[in-house]
Chains A and B, each alone.
Chain A
Amino acid sequence: SQTIHQWPATLVQPVGSPLSLECTVEGTSNPNLYWYRQAAGRGLQLLFYSVGIGQISSEVPQNLSASRPQDRQFILSSKKLLLSDSGFYLCAWRPDEAGYTFGSGTRLTVV
C-alpha cells in the first residue's frame, strides 16, 4: 500500500539551531513531493516541491531549504532557525492530479 511518513511529530528548537524534518513515501516510485507550512489561522502555504531526485522548486523566499536525496525521501532543513519559522509543517505526496495525501505533520516551536 502507498503511505507517507513524516517525523518528528513535535519539535522544540532554540533560535539559531539547525533543523531537519524528514518525509518518506512507500509503495510508489518517482512521486511528486511537497512541503507546506500551516500557520495558526491561515491556510496552507506551499514552501517547496520536487518532481524527482535532486529537483527542488522553491515557492517563497525564506530561511528554509529542501533536498531530495532519494526517490522517496524529501527533507526540509534550515541552518539557523528564526522565531518566525515556528509553525505546523506538512509533507504531501500527490498521487494524481486530483489531490494530495498528507503526512501527519510536524509541530515546530522555535524558542
Chain B
Amino acid sequence: KNQVEQSPQSLIILEGKNCTLQCNYTVSPFSNLRWYKQDTGRGPVSLTIMTFSENTKSNGRYTATLDADTKQSSLHITASQLSDSASYICVVNYLSGAGSYQLTFGKGTKLSVIP
C-alpha cells in the first residue's frame, strides 16, 4: 500500500531555533515529492519540489532533502520565526498501475514557534 508517514505529529520550538521534519514513504514508483506549508484555516502552499535525482533543495530558510534509496525526506527550518507556525505536509507523486500520476498525502506535522 502506498503510504506517506510524517513525524513528529506536532512540534513546539522557540523562536530562532532550528528544526527538522521527517517524511517516510513507501510509494513506488516514485516521481517527485513536495513539501507544503498550510497556515491555519488556509489552503496548502508549495514550498519545494524534489525529483528522484535531487538530494537537496532550498527555499529561503527552508531546506528539503531527499534520499530516494531509503525513501526518506526531511524539511529543515533554520532560524525559525513566529510566522513558521503552520502544518507542513509531505506529498509524494507516483505513477499508478493505471498509467496516471497519483498523489499520496502525509497527515502533516503541526509546528508551533513560540517567543
Partner of A43, one of B43, B45, B93, B105: B105
Smallest CB separation, B48 vs chain A (Å): 10
Residues 82-111 of chain A, each 1 if its beta carbon lies under 8 Å from chain B, else 0: 000000101010000111111111010000
- Find chain A residues with CB under 8 A from B108 CB: 43
Contact A99 B43 (CB under 8 A): no
Task: Tell me the interface secondary structure of chain B in the complex.
Answer: strand
Among A88, A97, A99, A107, max chain B CB count under 10 A is at: A99
Among A9, A41, A88, A100, max chain B CB count under 10 A is at: A100
Q: In the bound complex, how far is the Cα of B43 from the Cα of A9, in angstroms? A: 11
Among A90, A98, A102, A105, max chain B CB count under 10 A is at: A98
With A43-B108, A44-B89 known as contacts, the answer to whether A99 contacts B103 (CB < 8 A) is yes
- Find chain B residues with CB under 8 A from A88 CB: 41
How extensive is the interface on chain A, given as a class? 10 to 19
> How many residues of chain B get a CB closer than 8 Å to chain A's CBs?
20
Contact B107 A100 (CB under 8 A): no
Smallest CB separation, B68 vs chain A (Å): 16
Q: In the bound complex, how far is the Cα of B105 from the Cα of A109, in angstroms? A: 24
- Find chain B residues with CB under 8 A from A100 CB: 44, 46, 91, 103
Contact B31 A90 (CB under 8 A): no
Nearest residue (CB) in A for B101 is A97
Smallest CB separation, A16 vs chain B (Å): 26
Contact A102 B93 (CB under 8 A): no
Additional A-B contacts beyond A6-B43, A102-B44, A105-B41 (4; CB < 8 A): A41-B107, A43-B108, A92-B43, A99-B91
